[in-house]
Amino acid sequence: MYSICDDVETTGVDAIARELAGEGIEVWRANARTEAAMARLFAKAAHAGARRVAELASPSSREAELPFRALAAELGAAMNMSDRTVQRRMNDAAVLDEAFPATFEAWEEGRIAGGHVAVIMEHGLPLRDVEARSEFEREALARAEGTTPGRLASSLARLAESLQPRPLAERHKEARASRGSCVRDIGDGMAEFISTQPAVLAHAMHDRLTQQAQALKNADPTDTRTLDQVRADLVADMLLTTTPTVETGAGFSDGFGGLGAIRGIVNVTVPALALAGVTDEPAELVGRCPIDPATARQLAGHATGWDRVLADPITGCVLAVDRYTPSADMKRFLRARDQHCRFPGCRQPAHRCDRDHTLDYALGGETAACNLACLCKRHHTLKGETAWTVRQLGGGVLEWTSPGGHVYIDKPPSAIHFVPNTDPPPF
């Protein structure tokens, strides 16, 4: 969220930044309204196509599609767009209009952008129950107006999971059967190699590739490849030169499979009762998505260290972090509280961030949780080398002020995403 601080005196570059930011807000809203107007047009076209289909006596599946094709071709020719693209956007707009009317309205009013709409639809459509979907939409819109689509996605994944009638463990067991890999040719002698994996394995694989790619780039300054290109080369090298072992080739459903081979950094939050097997509450791959409790228990069984996170049962804010073998306790506390870089909109994971003193240590700032926050190198530099400022409001809430006087509030993610459904544990 943002506000404009009227009592900030701005001159020169700061005054220009303030003016441009104000203009940017208006342009952003105008662009959102324009995108929504185009979507509304496509929704009207889809509804018109549906009425034409209803007028047919007994249409076959092919005949029923022709009115949509004709309308898509008409709009595509008029707007210099592919008729296939138009027909797809007609279908998407019709679904949005029928399933998420309040979201469509917020988009038209310029309160949210197309990116927010896409995230809401992605996580809300699997909810089949009308009341559950309406509840999801109300909460999703309240969250969307104060954050970026990227941060909204992980938040809505947890929200949607809490409204699912079937537990994640049951659904994951069925979905796991769909794992596999395929190749799709994309032209120019290139192809996509796609592997569908359980979320924990997929994110751990990508994290390991990123670490190794960064190490290679650091070791050879003359390497001109991008990080993404190095990751792609590593995938080919590993798959074509490595012989599978019993551990890595066992398959996820038989024993630990790839879980035992994970060496990348994966931050998993597990409810205590689920860890003990008392409940089936989902765990969370922090900042990404919910995961089934069985996977979480397998990972926990091979963990080399434990972080106990104590959180406020009402607000979900982290109060303290403890560990049996004390080392770098403050870093663990900040990693648990912040989860990602605390500059507005940034999602760089906390374990890749610096621990920054909000009030510089040289100026008397304490090395305490109330004066520390995780900042990625980009935003750490921005804070130290530009006129951007930040102060702590308590409870880990940060107030950022831009050089132009705009104020942005960034709140730490909640650590509570579930409600225990059994009696309190005996401890």
Q: CA 341 to CA 393: how far, in whole Å?
A: 17
| pLDDT range class, residue 4, cuts 50, 70, 90 | very low
Alpha carbons 155 and 183: distance in angstroms, whole number: 32
Give yes or no for residue 1 having a pLDDT over 60: no
Which range has the worst mean pLDDT, 62-76, 139-153, 189-203?
Answer: 62-76
Residue-wise pLDDT tens digits, 214-262: 888 888 889 899 999 999 999 988 888 776 554 444 444 444 444 444 4
Q: Is 301 left (phi over 0), alpha (psi -120 to 50) or beta?
A: alpha
Q: What is the mean pLDDT of the chain?
A: 79
Rounded to whole angstroms, what are the CA distances from 195 to 199, 213, 235, 387?
11, 19, 11, 45
Could you tell me if 75 and 195 lie in one domain?
no
- Amino acid identity at 186: I
Split into its structural domains, the chain has a count of: 3
Q: Which of 144, 173, 202 is the last residue of a domain?
A: 173
pLDDT for position 418: 47
For the entire predicted model, the pTM comes to 0.61
- Average pLDDT of the residues in 279-297: 65
Q: Per the domain annotation, does 49 fall within a domain? A: yes
In a domain, 372, yes or no: yes
**Structure-token pair, residue 304:** 């080399």
Task: Count CB neighbours of 292 within 10 A.
Answer: 24
Same domain, 39 and 162: yes
**Position 391 pLDDT exceeds 80:** yes
| Strand 308-311, strand 354-357: pairing | unpaired
Beta bridge partners of 181: 195
pLDDT at residue 326 in the model: 32
Whether residue 64 sits in one domain with residue 155: yes
Q: Is the pLDDT of residue 274 over 70?
A: no
Provide the residue range defining the domain that includes 252.
Answer: 176-261
Residues of the chain above pLDDT 90, percent: 29
| Angle in degrees, 0-180, between the axes of helices 149-162 and 130-144, rounded to the nearest 10 | 150
Residue 14 has pLDDT above 70, yes or no: yes
pLDDT band at 95, cuts 50/70/90?
very high
Is the domain of 217 the same as that of 346?
no
My answer on whether 41 and 162 are in the same domain is yes
Q: Which amino acid is at 280?
A: D
Q: Where is average pLDDT lowest: 62-66, 315-319, 368-372, 387-391?
A: 315-319
In a domain, 137, yes or no: yes
Q: Residue 110 is encoded by which pair of tokens?
A: 């310029």
Final residue before a domain boundary, out of 240, 261, 282: 261
Query: Beta-carbon neighbour count of residue 201 at 10 Å?
Result: 20
Q: How far is CA 351 from the centre of its chain?
A: 17
Say what the pLDDT of residue 13 is.
Answer: 67
Whether pLDDT at 415 is above 80 = no
Do both 148 and 194 map to the same domain? no
Residues 153 and 203 in one domain: no
SS3 content of the chain, % helix, strand, coil (to 5): 55, 15, 35
79, part of any domain: yes
Would you place residue 166 in the very low, low, confident or very high pLDDT band (cuts 50, 70, 90)? confident
User: Do 40 and 54 fall within a single domain?
Assistant: yes
Burial (CB count within 10 angstroms: exposed 0-12, middle 13-18, buried 19+), residue 297: middle
